[in-house]
Amino acid sequence: MALKTIDAPNLKQWLETRQAVLVDVREPAEHAAEHIADATLLPLGSVSIAALPDCAGKKLVIHCRKGGRGGSACEKLLAEDPNLEIYNLEGGIESWRAAGLSVAGSGAAFLPLDRQVQMTIGLMLIITSLLGYIFTPTLFLLTGFIGLGLTIAGATGFCGLALLMARMPWNQRVKASYCAIK
């Protein structure tokens, strides 16, 4: 089954007419910093049919920052129930904001999870390359191991480093009300 998408203006209309339930699959700190009003937080690692809010008779719309994690969540849910009427917000919350639609949240600066992962991998590559140059070329194997991890993440969509980063304390420090599933 092809993944269905919806754009921000149509989603806004669905939400105003109560035709849809919106689920945010980003991490708690991302949601606290900025979110679409009435979106239910359900981090990607927790996504399952059983964890979804009640959406009987309504369309289920998933969103993240840019659409990638939302697409992964949709695929995961469709694997559990192929008959589920589910949509991914095309372009995520960034497209919502770009359409001039309002967002709620603390407004606190937050480095998105994907950028945290990119910075971590970049630093790991720099450090292992320097160690290999300074001490022994055998340490360049670590650089290759990091590249292998990136290749596996790209091929499978599973990134263990992203899951680890999501559990870091700085990604968990949010008010309890933001973490509660509605």
Count of structural domains, the chain: 2
What angle separates helix 113-134 from helix 140-156, to the nearest 10 degrees? Answer: 160
Q: In the predicted model, what is the mean pLDDT of the chain?
A: 89
Residues 150 and 103 in one domain: no
Q: What pLDDT does 154 receive? A: 87
Residues 62 and 118 in one domain: no
From the list 24, 15, 178, the residue with the least C-alpha distance to 105 is: 178
Question: Distance of alpha carbon 171 from its chain centroid, rounded?
Answer: 13
Q: How confident is the model at residue 1 (pLDDT cuts 50, 70, 90)?
A: low
Q: What is the dihedral of CA 67, 157, 128, 164, to 10 degrees?
A: 80
Residues 119 and 101 in one domain: no
Q: Is 16 exposed, middle or buried (0-12, 13-18, 19+ CB in 10 A)?
A: exposed
Q: How confident is the model at residue 9 (pLDDT cuts 50, 70, 90)?
A: very high
Residues 65 and 134 in one domain: no
The residue type found at 62 is I
Contact 43, 27 (CB under 8 A): yes
- Reading phi first (left if > 0) and then psi (alpha if -120 to 50, else beta), residue 67 is in left
Q: What pLDDT does 50 receive? A: 95
Contact 21, 55 (CB under 8 A): yes
Q: What pLDDT does 158 receive? A: 85
The whole-model pTM stands at 0.71
Residues 89 and 67 in one domain: yes
User: What is the side-by-side order of every strand in the sheet holding 59-63?
Assistant: 4-6, 86-89, 59-63, 20-24, 40-41
Q: Is the pLDDT of residue 70 over 70?
A: yes
Domain span including residue 147: 113-171
Residues 87 and 135 in one domain: no
Q: What is the mean pLDDT of residues 107-127?
A: 87
Q: How confident is the model at residue 178 (pLDDT cuts 50, 70, 90)?
A: very low
- For residue 61, the domain's CATH number is 3.40.250.10
- List, by residue number, the catalytic residues: 64
Strands 40-41 and 86-89 come out as unpaired
Residues 9 and 54 in one domain: yes
Residues 96 and 145 in one domain: no
Q: Is the pLDDT of residue 176 over 80?
A: no
Residues 84 and 134 in one domain: no
Size of the chain, expressed as the number of residues it contains: 182
Residues 104 and 118 in one domain: no
